[in-house]
Structure 1
Amino acid sequence: MEAFESRREPLDVRDIIDHARVSCYQVMIGVLCFFIVALDGFDIAIIGFIAPHVRSDWNLSVISLGPLFSAGLLGLMMGAFLSGPLADRIGRRGVLILSVVWFGAACLASAAAPDIVWLVALRFLTGFGLGGAMPNAITLTSEFSPERRRGTLLTLMFCGFSLGSALGGVVTAYLVAAFGWRGVLVIGGLLPLMLVPVLWFALPESVRFLALGKGNDARIAAILKRVAPDRAAADRRYLTSDERASDSPVARLFDPDYRRGTLLLWLAFFMSLLLLYMLINWLPFLGARAGLSLKQASVFAGLLQGGGVLGAIVLGILIDRFDAYRVVSAAYLVGAAAVASLAVADSALWLAAGIFVTGFCVSGSQVCANVIASGFYPTSSRATGVAWALGVGRIGAIVGSFGGALMLSAGWSNAALYLILALPATLSAAGIVFAGICRARTAAVSPDADVAMELNGAEAGS
C-alpha cells in the first residue's frame, strides 16, 4: 500500500530542476538557444553594416535609411507581441522553431530585393520571425535552468546575441568586398535554415509548460530522465507549483501583483533598447564622421557588442550572488557615464574604451534585464511577459533608429548625440530599481511561489 501511494505522489518539476545538478542535456538546450540568438543577433546587426553599401548602390539619402532600419524593428515588435501569448498557449518549442524558419527564409528572400521598397518589406518579415525567436529562447532556457544558476546560464546563452551582432559587423566588413551586400543576406538566411533540422530532433518542450496541462506525464518523465535520471520516474504524476491562469497571459501582466512592475520593466526595456539600437545602427556613421574608415568604424562598433558579451557574463554571475535589481541598475548608471564620456573623447583609444565600457554596462545589463523579466512572471505568462517587455523595447529601438536619422540629418554633432544618450541609460536604471522595489513588496504580501522563490539571485544561491 505504501509503495502504491508513493507511486501516485506527484512530483514538482521545478523542484526537480532546482535541486539537480546541471546536466549535459540542459547544457545542450542552452547551446542550441545560444546558436538561435547568435543568428538572431547576426541578422539584426548586418543591416546596419550593409546600409552604406545599399545607399551607395541605390543612391539613397541618409534619412531614407531610417525606414530600412525601423522595418526590421517593427517586425521584431510585432513578432514578440504575437509569439509570447501563442507560446504560453501551445508551447515554446513549436513557436521557437517556426520563428527560426520564418526569419531564415525572409532574410534569404531579402537578398533578391529589386529596390528599397521591397527590401524594407522583407526586412519587416525577417524581423517578425526574429521577434518570435528571442523571447522563446530566453523562456525555454530559463525554464530548464535551476534557480541558483539561472542568471549565469541565461546570460551565457544570451551572449550568443552579442557575439552574433559583433560578428555581423566584423564579418560583414570582409564579406561585402567578396560577395556584395546581397551575399551577406544570403548567408544570414541560410545559416538559420541549416539549424532547423537540428532543433527539430534535439530541442524539447519546456517541462514546466507541460506540467501546466494534463496527460503529459510520460512526456515529462522522458525529458526529466535526461535532466535528473535519479529523480524522474515513468509511473509518477508531475505538476508545477505554478497554476495555469484563468485569464489570458496578457491580462496576467496587469494583475495588481504585477502591474506596476510590468510598466517599470517596460520603461527599462524601452530606454535600454533605444540606446543600444541607435548605437548599433548609427555607430559606423558616427565613426566615419569622426574620421575613421568604414572598416575601422565597423571594428569600433564590434567593440560595443564585445563589451556586451563580457558584461553579460560578469553581471550574470553577480546577479546569482547579489540582488539582481541593484546590480543591473548600478551597471546602467555606469553605462550612462561611459556613453556621456564619448562626447569629450579626444583620441581613438578613449573612444574605443568608452564604447567598450558602454557595451559592457548597457548591453550586458539588457541581457540581465531579460533574466529579471523571465523570473518576474509565473510559468503560465512567462513567455508573454518576456516577449512583451522585448516588444516594448523594440518600440524604443524604432524610436532610436528614426531619432538617429533625424538628428544626423538636422546636423547634430557626435558630442551632442553622445550626451543625450546618457539619459536613456539613466532612465533604464530607474526602471529596474523601482521594479525591484515592487517585486519585494509583492513578495511581502503574496504567498505566490514564484515571487517567494525568485525574488533575487542572492536568496536563490544561498
Structure 2
Amino acid sequence: MKPTDNSVNVQSLLNTAGITGYQWTIYALCFFIVLLDGFDTAMIGYIAPSLVQEWGVSRPALGPVLSAALFGLAAGAISAGPMADRLGRKRVLIGSVLVFGVACLASSHASGIDELTIWRFVTGLGLGAAMPNAVTLTSEYCPESRRSMLTNAMFCGFPLGAALGGFLAAWMIPNFGWRSVLMLGGVAPLVLGVALFFVLPESVRYMVIKRWPVERIRVVLERIAGDMARTAEAFHLQEVTGSEKAASSGIAVVLSRQYRVGSVMLWLAYFMGLVVFYALMNWMPILFKDAGIEPRTATLIAALFPLGGVGAIFFGWLMDRYNANRVIALGYALTAVSIWAIGQAVGNVGGLMTVVFIAGTIMNTAQSSMPALAAAFYPTQGRATGVAWMLGIGRFGGIAGSFLVAELTVRHLSAETIFTVVALPGLVAMVALLIKQLAHPASAANKGAKSSTTIASH
C-alpha cells in the first residue's frame, strides 16, 4: 500500500516538530529505568567486601555471585529483544522493571551466598530486558538530527546509577548494613513501574509498523506535533528496502546478509567494553583495599569510575555530525591507555582518584555510545532485537571480566599487571568498530528512507 495524500511520515513529523515536554517525559522515564539498572547492576561490587567479612567468603568464591546477575542480564536481553519486537516496548519494559525490583528486594533477605546468587540471577533477567527496550523507545521518539546525543544522554543513567550506588553504599553500609543497599535497589523500581504503567506510551514507530488503529497513533502524535498529526488520515514510515522488509522477525533482520557483519562487530566491541567495565566495577574496591587503601576510601574512589559516563553526551553530539564508528573506536583506544594508567597510579591516592575519574570518563563515554550506534544501524523491524542482542551477548563480556580478575588475583599478580591485562580488550573493541565501518561504509546514510510504506491508515 502506498502513502495517501494525507498520510504523514512519522519520522519526518518527529524531525520537524521539535522536542516537546511529552518527549522529555518519555526520555526522563527511560533515563530512570537505566539509572536503576546501573544502580542494581553495580551494587554487588560495592557490597562484596561486606560479604567477605560477614559470611567468610573467599575472594575467588565471589566470582559466581558477582557474575550471576550478568548471566541473567544476557538471558534477559537476548529473549526480551525479539519479545519487544512482537509485543511492544512498553509491555516488556514494565514487566522487566517489576521483575528486577521484586528480585532485588528478595535478595536483601538472602541467608547465604548460594541464595544470593540465585536472586542476583533473577534480578539480572529483569535488568537485561529493561535496558535495551529503554534505549529503543528513546531512539524511536527522537528527531534524527539529535538521536545519538539524546540516546546517549539517556544511557548516561547507567554509569550515573552505578556511581550513585557507590556513594550511597559508602554511607549506608556502615550505618544500616549491606542489606539496606539491596532493599533500596528493590523498592525504587517498584515505584517506577507504577509510573511507567500510567505515563509511558508505546513506541509510535512500533504502533505504525504493527498497524495499530490510526486513532491510537494520532493521540500520541498530537501531544508532540499538534495539528500536523491531527489532520492526518494515515501514518507511514520510511525504511530501507531490502531483506529487512521481507523478514518475518527481528532476528531475521539482525542475522540477514545485509546486517550480519555489522551485528557481529557490534557484539564483539560491546563484549570487550564490558570485560573492562565489570572487571573494574566488581574488583576495584577489593584491589584498592589490598593495595593498602582504607575500605571506605577504596569504595569512594571506585565510584568515581562510572561517574565519568556523562561524557557520552559529547560523544553523541559528535556521532550526529561525524562518522560514529570512528568516534567510538577512538574512545576505546583511549580507554586502553587510561586503564593501563590506573595500575601505574595505585600507590598515590590523590593521583589515583584523578586517573580513575579520567579513565571512567573515557571508558564509559565509549561504552555508553554503543546502544545509540546499534539503534541507528537497524531498521524499526529489528531495532529492539538488534540493540538487545548486542547488550545481551555483550553481557558475557561482563562475566568474563569478573572471572578474569578473579583468576588474576589467584595468581597473585600485582595491581599494575592486572590493570594492564584489563586494558587490552579496549584495543580489540577499537578494531571491531573499524571493521564494521569497512563492511558498512554507508550505514550512517541508511538512516534516511529509500522508500515509503504506509503502515497505518483508516
How far does residue 216 in structure 1 lie from its aligned partner after superposition?
A: 2.5
Quote the residue 2:317 is aligned against: 317
How far does residue 232 in structure 1 lie from its aligned partner after superposition?
A: 0.3
Closer, same or farther in 2 for the Cα pair 1:288/1:443, shift >3 Å?
closer
Closer, same or farther in 2 for the Cα pair 1:452/1:279, shift >3 Å?
farther
Q: TM-score, normalised by structure 2?
A: 0.93
**SS in structure 2 opposite 1:257?**
coil
**1:328·1:365 contact (CA, 8 Å) conserved in 2?**
yes
Deviations 1:395-420 (A, max 9, x none): 00000011111111221111001111
The size of the alignment, in residue pairs, is: 445
Quote the residue 2:295 is aligned against: 294
* CA distance in 1 between partners of 2:449 and 2:282 (Å): 37
Return 5+ residue gaps in structure 2 as ranges: 452-458
* CA distance in 2 between partners of 1:74 and 1:342 (Å): 28
**2:238·2:449 contact (CA, 8 Å) conserved in 1?**
no
Closer, same or farther in 2 for the Cα pair 1:202/1:426, shift >3 Å?
same
Quote the residue 2:271 is aligned against: 270
2:138 pairs with one of 135, 138, 141:
141
* CA distance in 1 between partners of 2:156 and 2:232 (Å): 39
**SS in structure 1 opposite 2:223?**
coil
1:221 pairs with one of 218, 223, 232:
218
* CA distance in 2 between partners of 1:414 and 1:321 (Å): 39
One-letter code of the match for 2:127? L
User: Structure 1 residues 52-61 or 81-90, which shifts more?
Assistant: 52-61
**2:8·2:232 contact (CA, 8 Å) conserved in 1?**
no
**SS in structure 1 opposite 2:238?**
coil
1:46 pairs with one of 43, 46, 51:
43
How far does residue 213 in structure 1 lie from its aligned partner after superposition?
A: 1.7
Closer, same or farther in 2 for the Cα pair 1:278/1:245, shift >3 Å?
farther
The 5-angstrom pairing of residues 120-131 of structure 1 reads 120-131=117-128
Quote the residue 1:399 is aligned against: 400
**SS in structure 2 opposite 1:412?**
coil
One-letter code of the match for 1:124? F
* CA distance in 2 between partners of 1:246 and 1:343 (Å): 48
User: Structure 1 residues 235-244 or 49-58, which shifts more?
Assistant: 235-244
How far does residue 449 in structure 1 lie from its aligned partner after superposition?
A: 5.6
Return 5+ residue gaps in structure 1 as ranges: 454-462
How far does residue 430 in structure 1 lie from its aligned partner after superposition?
A: 1.2
Quote the residue 2:305 is aligned against: 304
User: Structure 1 residues 227-236 or 37-46, which shifts more?
Assistant: 227-236
Quote the residue 1:338 is aligned against: 338
Deviations 1:331-373 (A, max 9, x none): 1111111111223225223322221122111111111111100
* CA distance in 2 between partners of 1:189 and 1:202 (Å): 21
User: Structure 1 residues 49-58 or 131-140, which shifts more?
Assistant: 49-58
User: Structure 1 residues 351-360 or 409-418, which shifts more?
Assistant: 351-360
How far does residue 235 in structure 1 lie from its aligned partner after superposition?
A: 5.1
The 5-angstrom pairing of residues 163-202 of structure 1 reads 163-202=160-199
Quote the residue 1:114 is aligned against: 111
One-letter code of the match for 2:387? V
1:63 pairs with one of 53, 60, 63:
60
* CA distance in 2 between partners of 1:6 and 1:106 (Å): 47
How far does residue 443 in structure 1 lie from its aligned partner after superposition?
A: 7.2
One-letter code of the match for 1:312? A
The 5-angstrom pairing of residues 65-84 of structure 1 reads 65-84=62-81
Quote the residue 1:366 is aligned against: 367
The 5-angstrom pairing of residues 11-26 of structure 1 reads 11-26=8-23
**1:217·1:234 contact (CA, 8 Å) conserved in 2?**
no
Quote the residue 1:459 is aligned against: none
Closer, same or farther in 2 for the Cα pair 1:19/1:438, shift >3 Å?
farther
User: Structure 1 residues 404-413 or 266-275, which shifts more?
Assistant: 404-413
* CA distance in 1 between partners of 2:58 and 2:198 (Å): 46
- Percent of aligned positions that are identical: 42
One-letter code of the match for 1:324? A
**SS in structure 2 opposite 1:225?**
helix
Closer, same or farther in 2 for the Cα pair 1:330/1:108, shift >3 Å?
same
User: Structure 1 residues 146-155 or 99-108, which shifts more?
Assistant: 146-155
Q: TM-score, normalised by structure 1?
A: 0.93
1:90 pairs with one of 87, 94, 97:
87
**1:264·1:432 contact (CA, 8 Å) conserved in 2?**
yes
Higher RCO structure (Cα 8 Å, ≥6 apart): 2
**2:249·2:381 contact (CA, 8 Å) conserved in 1?**
no
Quote the residue 1:241 is aligned against: 238
How far does residue 55 in structure 1 lie from its aligned partner after superposition?
A: 1.8
* CA distance in 2 between partners of 1:434 and 1:36 (Å): 32
User: Structure 1 residues 334-343 or 432-441, which shifts more?
Assistant: 432-441
RMSD across aligned positions (CA): 1.9
